[in-house]
Protein backbone atom coordinates (compact mmCIF):
# COMPACT_ATOMS: atom_id res chain seq x y z
CA UNK A 1 0.00 0.00 0.00
CA UNK A 2 2.84 2.40 0.79
CA UNK A 3 4.22 2.02 -2.74
CA UNK A 4 0.82 2.94 -4.23
CA UNK A 5 0.62 6.00 -2.01
CA UNK A 6 4.15 7.02 -3.02
CA UNK A 7 3.39 6.57 -6.72
CA UNK A 8 0.12 8.51 -6.44
CA UNK A 9 1.88 11.33 -4.62
CA UNK A 10 4.56 11.54 -7.31
CA UNK A 11 1.93 11.73 -10.03
CA UNK A 12 -0.05 14.40 -8.15
CA UNK A 13 3.18 16.40 -7.70
CA UNK A 14 3.84 16.11 -11.44
CA UNK A 15 0.31 17.38 -12.22
CA UNK A 16 0.69 20.27 -9.79
CA UNK A 17 4.10 21.25 -11.17
CA UNK A 18 3.05 20.90 -14.80
CA UNK A 19 -0.55 22.14 -14.85
CA UNK A 20 -1.39 23.88 -11.58
CA UNK A 21 1.81 25.67 -10.60
CA UNK A 22 0.52 28.89 -9.03
CA UNK A 23 1.84 30.37 -5.79
CA UNK A 24 -1.57 31.96 -5.14
CA UNK A 25 -3.25 28.56 -4.72
CA UNK A 26 -3.11 27.00 -1.25
CA UNK A 27 -1.41 23.58 -1.11
CA UNK A 28 -4.63 21.70 -0.29
CA UNK A 29 -6.43 23.32 -3.22
CA UNK A 30 -3.49 22.44 -5.48
CA UNK A 31 -3.89 18.83 -4.40
CA UNK A 32 -7.63 18.93 -5.09
CA UNK A 33 -6.99 20.45 -8.53
CA UNK A 34 -4.53 17.58 -9.16
CA UNK A 35 -7.28 15.09 -8.22
CA UNK A 36 -9.58 16.89 -10.65
CA UNK A 37 -6.87 16.55 -13.30
CA UNK A 38 -6.73 12.80 -12.62
CA UNK A 39 -10.52 12.50 -12.88
CA UNK A 40 -11.21 14.85 -15.79
CA UNK A 41 -7.95 15.24 -17.77
CA UNK A 42 -4.91 17.33 -16.86
CA UNK A 43 -5.87 20.50 -18.74
CA UNK A 44 -9.34 20.81 -17.26
CA UNK A 45 -8.55 22.44 -13.89
CA UNK A 46 -7.51 25.57 -15.81
CA UNK A 47 -10.90 25.54 -17.60
CA UNK A 48 -12.67 25.02 -14.26
CA UNK A 49 -10.83 27.97 -12.69
CA UNK A 50 -11.68 30.22 -15.64
CA UNK A 51 -15.34 29.19 -15.39
CA UNK A 52 -15.28 29.88 -11.63
CA UNK A 53 -13.99 33.38 -12.27
CA UNK A 54 -16.70 33.94 -14.90
CA UNK A 55 -19.29 32.77 -12.36
CA UNK A 56 -17.99 35.23 -9.75
CA UNK A 57 -16.49 32.43 -7.63
CA UNK A 58 -13.06 32.19 -6.03
CA UNK A 59 -10.83 30.53 -8.61
CA UNK A 60 -8.22 29.39 -6.10
CA UNK A 61 -10.53 27.40 -3.77
CA UNK A 62 -11.92 24.03 -4.77
CA UNK A 63 -14.77 23.40 -2.31
CA UNK A 64 -17.84 25.53 -3.01
CA UNK A 65 -16.09 27.42 -5.77
CA UNK A 66 -14.11 25.72 -8.53
CA UNK A 67 -15.96 22.45 -7.87
CA UNK A 68 -19.24 24.20 -8.78
CA UNK A 69 -17.68 25.58 -11.95
CA UNK A 70 -16.38 22.11 -12.80
CA UNK A 71 -19.85 20.64 -12.31
CA UNK A 72 -21.18 23.20 -14.79
CA UNK A 73 -18.70 21.91 -17.41
CA UNK A 74 -18.60 18.17 -16.70
CA UNK A 75 -20.84 15.76 -14.81
CA UNK A 76 -21.28 16.05 -11.05
CA UNK A 77 -20.14 12.44 -10.51
CA UNK A 78 -16.65 13.22 -11.81
CA UNK A 79 -16.48 16.29 -9.58
CA UNK A 80 -17.61 14.24 -6.57
CA UNK A 81 -14.76 11.85 -7.27
CA UNK A 82 -12.32 14.66 -6.51
CA UNK A 83 -13.83 15.17 -3.06
CA UNK A 84 -13.83 11.41 -2.47
CA UNK A 85 -10.12 11.24 -3.36
CA UNK A 86 -9.44 13.91 -0.77
CA UNK A 87 -11.17 11.76 1.86
CA UNK A 88 -9.13 8.71 0.86
CA UNK A 89 -5.83 10.59 1.08
CA UNK A 90 -6.59 11.73 4.61
CA UNK A 91 -7.30 8.07 5.46
CA UNK A 92 -4.14 6.84 3.68
CA UNK A 93 -1.98 9.33 5.54
CA UNK A 94 -3.46 8.20 8.85
CA UNK A 95 -2.81 4.54 7.93
CA UNK A 96 0.85 5.19 7.11
CA UNK A 97 1.56 7.45 10.10
pLDDT tens column, 11-48: 989 999 998 888 889 888 888 888 888 878 888 889 99
Contact between 62 and 32 (Cβ < 8 Å) = yes
pLDDT at 90: 46
Report percent pLDDT > 90 for the chain: 31
pLDDT at 55: 97
Phi, psi angles (nearest 5°) of residue 55? -85, 0
Give Cα 70 distance to the centre of its chain.
11
Amino acid sequence: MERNIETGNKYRRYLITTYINNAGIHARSQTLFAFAACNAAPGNPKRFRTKAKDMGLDQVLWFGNVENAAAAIIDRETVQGTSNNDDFVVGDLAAVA
